[in-house]
Amino acid sequence: MTYVLTFFMALVIAVIATPVSMKLAAKWGAIAYPGGRHVHTKPIPRLGGLAIYAAFWSAALIMQVWDEQMTGLFLGSTIIMVVGIWDDIRGMRPLVKLFWQIAAASVLVFFGFSMNNISLPLIGPVDFEYLGLSAIGIVLMLFWVVGLVNTVNVSDGLDGLAAGICFMVALLLFWSANRIGQLPAAHLTLALAGALLGFLVFNFPPARVFMGDSGSMFLGYVIGGLSIMGLLKTATILGLVFPLLVLGMPVTDLTFAIIRRKLRGQSMATADRGHLHHRLLDAGLSQRSAVLSMYGISACFGVAAVLGAKGQWIWALTILLLVFALLIIILMRRTSMLAVFSRRHSK
């Protein structure tokens, strides 16, 4: 019953807080205007991440799911939220943003976050601290959190896309946390899921609000922190597998974007219209169809993660290979096969 209460508390707070964030966005000038690589056609407030932040932490506080590591996650996520709000309002250079992402991730080090003790497939338990290599565990943790921050940021390209994918991540992390008896982590992942579902009421296409960088960076940060804080206490790699696999689609998209820009001699931070969602739109899908298609791809990654956790590796690998093949086909611009799903003539 407490699980249900945690979920719906976060959901209700998000539904109440999102319109407030929209008014604040209008007041502070955090507005996304159409044009360029953007696909929306009218100005839309982009401070919805503030509502997700408020709903998540309010539910965590009310349910009293708190310890020292929670304090670290709160402080670090607050830093990343403030940086995101500043970026949404005033803009920020990529390197400056990266500096603050690393700074926010570094806060976790002072509250016991690390990847010193994990269990890897085929290798078994690895304890970097025992080997006198604690620095490796800390560096891995920083790469993990900053990497997820930017992965979720890349996925925020269409109405409801990042929120929907992170909702799936949160549910799978809850399944895993509950399965291994990590009750605080289970409550927190449900709080995140509830906050995202409440936000999706306003963000699902056609969106009335965007989460902005404040939201996407906050989500990546919290998912990274939760996967380490709650699930890796049992030294299980599942804490990493679930978010990584469900975010397999934006990870693949980000990898192709880096390769594409390097081949063109461009900076990795250069924005373009070569992302997966742009490919689907160019193939003729509507925004809603493209988002639902990408939900389906992410769900397949999630199913593969669950099958792997249950030891059904052949089925898991089969699904992964099929989904990766589909992603490569789309990202290599071979989108003619998608035309059958086109809704070009729909509204």
Task: Express each pLDDT in 181-207 by its tens digit.
Answer: 778 888 899 999 999 999 999 999 889
| Pair 305, 320: CB distance under 8 Å | no
Beta bridge partner(s), residue 32: 44
User: Has residue 233 got a pLDDT over 60?
Assistant: no
Q: How far apart are the first and last CA of the chain?
A: 43
Residue 257 makes CB contacts below 8 A (sequence gap 6+) with: 154, 268, 272, 274, 275
- SS3 sequence of 174-196: HHHHHHCCCHHHHHHHHHHHHHH
Spatial CA neighbour of 46 closest among 162, 124, 137: 162
Q: Which two tokens stand for residue 212?
A: 């902005």
Is a pLDDT exceeding 60 seen at residue 21? Answer: yes
Q: How far apart are CA 123 and CA 163, in angstroms?
A: 34
Residue 281 within any structural domain of the chain: no
pLDDT score at 178: 84
H or E element, residue 278: helix 276-282
pLDDT band at 340 (very low <50, low <70, confident <90, very high): very low
Is the residue at 225 inside a domain? yes
CA distance 122 to 217: 33
Average pLDDT, the chain: 82
Output the pLDDT for position 41.
66
- Percentage of the residues of the chain whose pLDDT score is greater than 70: 81
In percent, the amount of the chain with pLDDT more than 90 equals 39
Indicate whether 346 pLDDT > 80: no
| Average pLDDT value for residue range 52-63 | 93
In a domain, 221, yes or no: yes
Helices (H), 156-283: 161-179, 183-203, 212-226, 238-246, 248-263, 276-282
The answer as to whether 93 is a domain residue is yes
Number of domains in the chain: 1
In a domain, 229, yes or no: yes
> Which residue segment(s) compose the domain that 8 sits in?
2-247
pTM of the model: 0.85
Looking at residues 261-282, what average pLDDT do you find?
A: 69
* Amino acid letter, residue 140: L
Please say if the pLDDT value at position 144 is more than 80. Answer: yes
Would you say residue 51 lies in a domain? yes
